[in-house]
Amino acid sequence: MLQVNILRQERDRVLEGLRKRQLDAAPAVDRIIGLDDRRKELQSETENLLAERNSLSKEIGDLFKNGKKDEANAKRQRVSDIKEQTGPLETELETVKGELEEELLQLPNVPYHLVPAGATPDDNEVYRPYDGELPRLAAGAKPHWELADTYGIFDLELGVRTTGSGFPVFTGQGARLQRALVNFFLDRNTAAGYTEYAPPLLVNEDTARATGQLPDKEGQMYYVQADDLYLIPTAEVPLTNLYRGELLEPAQLPVKMTGYTPCFRREAGSYGAHVRGLNRVHQFDKVEIVQLALPEESYTKLDEMVDHVAGLLTELELPFRILRLCGGDMGFTSAMTFDFEVWSAAQERWLEVSSVSNFETYQSNRLKLRYRTERGTELLHTLNGSALALPRIIAALLENKQTDAGILLPEVLHAYFGKEKLQPLRS
RNA sequence: GGAGGAAUGGCAGAGUGGUUGAAUGCACCGGUCUUGAAAACCGACGUACCGCAAGGUACCGGGGGUUCGAAUCCCUCUUCCUCCGCCA
């Protein structure tokens, strides 16, 4: 959520930034400022009356003590009058505050100055191209959903039986590979200074709202009605919220967290050839990294996170490129996002495997996540990234590493998986 | 799920209707003393919002109510603790 003061003080910069999202925010911004003006007006008026009430109440107390009952009763009448006035004022104040918040929630984050303008993924900037020859597979190379059958990696039919479409069941060495990857990622992340957490997979409404999933992505989350809880779409949500409402000392920063969780996404309306196999599923495993950083350091930290994720992909020996998302393709809450895409030689397309973003103060404003400065308190910057999402990594490993002799695993996984390659099932 | 108890500032912990935003201790910060440190002593020490400022308002788990006035009384919700039951 953007801060009203920023909208007031930097109106032009905000509007210009939001235009990169193909959004003309001028009417909304003006409505917000108008509501905030009204809010201040009502608040001053109300508080003046309350101040009078408070001082009268004190006098009444003294008068009663001194036995001056008549004088006290006269003042009591005045206080009653004040109450009659403040009632409607306070009601209106609450209404205006609600409307103000409603408007603010509709406004996405302002893109960072380096973010390219644009409407669709075609406008994304190739920030770091793949510097090599894209691998070519022998004729007859299979996509991962066919390899999954041959090698017994995962089974979509079983998921349909237990749950429904888009819930893969990982089996045998596929399940083992998944576990190996989770461990590999967590080890690398903790070695890089991220503290490991195993957070809840269900969160309450306040939590979902604070990181911006509500109201923007309401329909994308699974909702447990009986207990009013949401299944997390990413570990970002519980991890970032661990610090909701905190006031940190600069010495505590940056806070670096990592966590492995399943992620749940309804993905309503996503069907077609590009969502076959593991390309898009309702439940998947992901290891996430999160940082809480000083504003002046957050973009350095973003670079650090990008390099870290790039290191993981390099170790996995997967050809990848990094995109800087254009305004129109960026998430609602992000100020700048880098997407990592792995090349799938069998599908001959790029698969997104990680998204690394700086949210600046957009989340921390809702989180009330601040740090102490000489002058007072300031909002922190929050950042997060996938390190990494499992299904498409598995898809890419299967497809790119297939040989006549089996699927060769990258060397770094040998210690985690126990074997050098995946073996076909005996049929 | 049943019964009882509790929720106060960074922590501990007073406070049951009227100068209580809140005693006291600890921690933290500034200072005195000291070659330095410790100890001792002195001082400062919550957050948000409104206001140019002076100052004001709100907040003692959340919400609502009683009252001229609520941390303090009432209702309700949540969470934690103890005991019982059930259970991975």
**Predicted confidence (pLDDT) at residue A219 exceeds the cutoff of 80:** yes
Q: How far apart are CA A326 and CA A97, in angstroms?
A: 33
Q: How far apart are CA A278 and CA A390, in angstroms?
A: 9
Convert the pLDDT of each residue in A381-404 to its tens digit. 999 999 999 999 999 999 998 888
Convert the pLDDT of each residue in A305-346 to its tens digit. 999 999 999 999 999 999 999 999 999 999 999 999 999 888
Cis upstream peptide for A388 (omega within 30°): yes
Q: How far apart are CA A279 and CA A265, in angstroms?
A: 13
pLDDT reported for residue A263: 96
**H or E stretch including A407?**
strand A406-408
A89 strand B contact, CB < 7 Å: no
- pLDDT, average across residues A64-84: 82
Q: Give the bases of strand B that a protein CB approaches within 7 Å.
A: 18-19, 47-51, 56-58, 68-69
Whole-model pTM over 0.95: no
A47 strand B contact, CB < 7 Å: yes
- pLDDT, average across residues A248-262: 92
Backbone CA torsion sign across A407, A271, A274, A179: negative
Residue showing tokens 């989770």:
A182
A9 strand B contact, CB < 7 Å: no
This complex has an ipTM of 0.86
Taking a C-beta distance cutoff of 8 angstroms, is the pair A326, A347 a contact? no
Distance A58 CA to B23 C1' (A): 22
A263: amino acid identity, one letter: C
Q: Give the residue among A156, A199, A196 at the shortest CA–CA distance from A174.
A: A156
**Cβ partners under 8 Å of residue A132, min gap 6:** A319
Distance A361 CA to B11 C1' (A): 29
Q: How far apart are CA A194 and CA A260, in angstroms?
A: 12
A56 strand B contact, CB < 7 Å: yes
**Which residues of A spanning 218-257 put their CB closer than 7 angstroms to strand B?**
247
Three-state SS at A413: helix
Give the Å distances, CA to CA, from A178 to A3, A237, A239, A361: 41, 22, 22, 34
Mean predicted lDDT score pLDDT of chain A: 92
Convert the pLDDT of each residue in A75-130 to its tens digit. 888 888 888 888 888 889 999 999 999 999 999 999 999 999 999 999 999 999 99
Q: How far apart are CA A112 and CA A358, in angstroms?
A: 9
Distance A394 CA to B48 C1' (A): 48
Q: Give the residue among A22, A24, A25 at the shortest CA–CA distance from A2.
A: A25
Convert the pLDDT of each residue in A121-165 to its tens digit. 999 999 999 988 888 877 788 899 999 999 999 999 999 999 999
A54 strand B contact, CB < 7 Å: yes
